[in-house]
Amino acid sequence: MDASDAGVGKLGFTLRVPIGVVGAISPFNFPLNLVAHKVAPAIAAGCPVVLKPASQTPVSAIALAELLLDECGLPPGHLNIVTGSGTTVGNAIVEHEQIAMITFTGSPEVGWGIKARAPRKKVGLELGNNAPVIIEADGDVVTAATKIAVAGFSHAGQSCISTQRVYVHEDVADAFLADLVPRVEALVVGDPLDDATDVSALISEGERDRVQAWVDEATKAGAKVACGGELRGGVLAPTVLTDVTPDMAVCSLEVFGPVVTVARYRRLDEALELANDTRYGLQAAIFTSDYAVALRAVRELDFGGVLVNEVPTFRTDQMPYGGLRDSGNTREGPRYAVEEMTEARLVILQL
């Protein structure tokens, strides 16, 4: 404080105080984990929560609330679950004057619509992505293929950071595909309750049909199906597409399904440009043994997170997770979410 004459003899510091009631709207794809990402920081920040879980998957959120309120001693009214549609419940949360902050995970269209309709509230958005990964000629092709065979198809691709766009140097593209495709073909498609199953159904038949339509559109425009592309018992098989172009929906939009696209490049400049050619900006990755190249990618890839020798699907709960542009405007992870859910209060003491 004594950096200026007016502050001599005074002590200044800030407190973090609860922002108020938090309205949380969570998606279907991780119905417990993503609820916890919103509820736990709010509890830590001292904020009551009104939570609307996804209409398709409300049960785990209700069970968590019962556990916290009935067995863990969370004060009554501190966590409130309201089930129902986004049109009814979601709109009520957005419009209610006593809700100070909204934390939303879901599609960009809905998220930015909420932001526009609630200009006086703090609105934290964690939205979509079409996660790219670059594989340089000196990268570990086998490790990349092994990780992508899981990262592109776990949860049937229904993850914001599911690996979707692969850009592989032309010198190692054939070797990469020769390793990747058999791994993807070996994935077990079937009943999600069977422990042997690797890939199961999408959340609805409508979503399955949408993803399959995007695959069909890509093949009609010149893409080739390296594997998959068909239905197996009503489930879309894990699909790898090659010879894709940036304008195809499977590249330019978020597939949110079991589809990975592979394109070749000659120069790193080209790969970085292709990876950045997106409305999204959540996480991206590069495989290379040259750390000068890796650090250049870290500087030039315009994403909230850049991973080196790892897939963009990697996440630990404690890291600052979030993106740019149509991927959102916030960072989740307990410490970072707590800061979002508090306000800084300046305190001045006369000594």
Count CA atoms within 13 Å of residue 139 on its CB side.
31
- Residue 341 contacts residue 19 (beta carbons within 8 Å): yes
Q: What is the pLDDT of residues 280-303, one digit of tens each?
A: 999 999 999 999 999 999 999 999
Domain ranges of the chain: 5-127+328-350, 132-308
- Are the CB atoms for 158 and 29 separated by under 8 Å? yes
Residue of 47, 136, 160, 254 with catalytic role: 160
Out of 47, 66, 72, 126, which one is annotated catalytic?
126
**Torsion-angle region of residue 134: left (phi > 0), alpha (psi -120 to 50) or beta?**
beta
**pLDDT digits over 229-253, tens only?**
999 999 999 999 999 999 999 999 9
Cα(163)–Cα(142) distance, integer angstroms: 16
Answer yes or no: 340 catalytic.
no
- Residue 187: Cβ within 10 Å count: 19
At the topology level, CATH places domain 5-127+328-350 in Aldehyde Dehydrogenase; Chain A, domain 1 (3.40.605)
Q: Is 126 a catalytic residue?
A: yes
Spatial distance between the Cα atoms of 335 and 316, rounded to a whole number of angstroms: 13
Q: Which amino acid belongs to residue 244?
A: V
For the chain, the maximum distance between any two Cα atoms, rounded to a whole number of angstroms, is: 77
| Domain 132-308 in CATH 3.40.309.10 | yes
The pLDDT tens digits along the chain (351 residues) read 999 999 999 999 999 999 999 999 999 999 999 999 999 999 999 999 999 999 999 999 999 999 999 999 999 999 999 999 999 999 999 999 999 999 999 999 999 999 999 999 999 999 999 999 999 999 999 999 999 999 999 999 999 999 999 999 999 999 999 999 999 999 999 999 999 999 999 999 999 999 999 999 999 999 999 999 999 999 999 999 999 999 999 999 999 999 999 999 999 999 999 999 999 999 999 999 999 999 999 999 999 999 999 999 999 999 999 999 999 999 999 999 999 999 999 999 999
In angstroms, the CA 154 to CA 188 distance is: 11
Here the tokens at position 4 are 């200026």
Which tokens go with 295? Answer: 């650090």
Which residues are CB-contacts of 183 (< 8 A; sequence separation ≥ 6)?
145, 146, 149
CB burial readout 106-126, b (16+ within 10 A) else e: bebebbbebbeebeebbbbbb
Phi and psi (nearest 5°) for 210?
A: -65, -50
First to last CA, the chain: 11
